[in-house]
Amino acid sequence: AQSVTQPDIHITVSEGASLELRCNYSYGATPYLFWYVQSPGQGLQLLLKYFSGDTLVQGIKGFEAEFKRSQSSFNLRIPSVHWSDAAEYFCAVGFLSGSARQLTFGSGTQLTVLP
């Protein structure tokens, strides 16, 4: 069965710092990978996705993530954290269920940004 692990439950950084949020997945086939962000009081917004091709993917707000098959990872990098980046971040893997893709989510990483 597929699974997603986000080892960091809560991270606190200062504004302007760079940051990497970790995501490891377990899936027996080619994974489709996603990062979503949930800002306070908001729904989940898709940040970026990996389907195939270039293993370094760019998303909104300058975020990027790198797929590393050998490490079963899809870590999210934020080059310079802004106060507005404080949110909960979810990694997800898309897996085949019948003919359709479903999602399995990690437990999330809560990001706090200090001024």
Partner 1 sequence: DADVTQTPRNRITKTGKRIMLECSQTKGHDRMYWYRQDPGLGLRLIYYSFDVKDINKGEISDGYSVSRQAQAKFSLSLESAIPNQTALYFCATSDSSGDRTGKNIQYFGAGTRLSVL
Assigned token pair, 95:
């897996």
**Least separation, in Å, of the C-beta of 96 and partner 1?**
8
Q: Which CB, 15 or 22, lies closer to partner 1?
A: 22
Q: Beta strand pairing status for 10-14 and 109-114?
A: parallel
Residues that bind partner 1 (CB under 8 A): 4, 6, 9, 32, 34, 36, 41-46, 49, 51, 90, 94, 96, 99-103, 105-108
Q: Which amino acid is at 47?
A: L
- Which letter, b or e, does each residue of 9-30 get, where b requires 16 or more Cβ atoms within 10 Å of its Cβ? eebebeeeeebebbbbbebeee
**Least separation, in Å, of the C-beta of 107 and partner 1?**
4
**Least separation, in Å, of the C-beta of 112 and partner 1?**
15
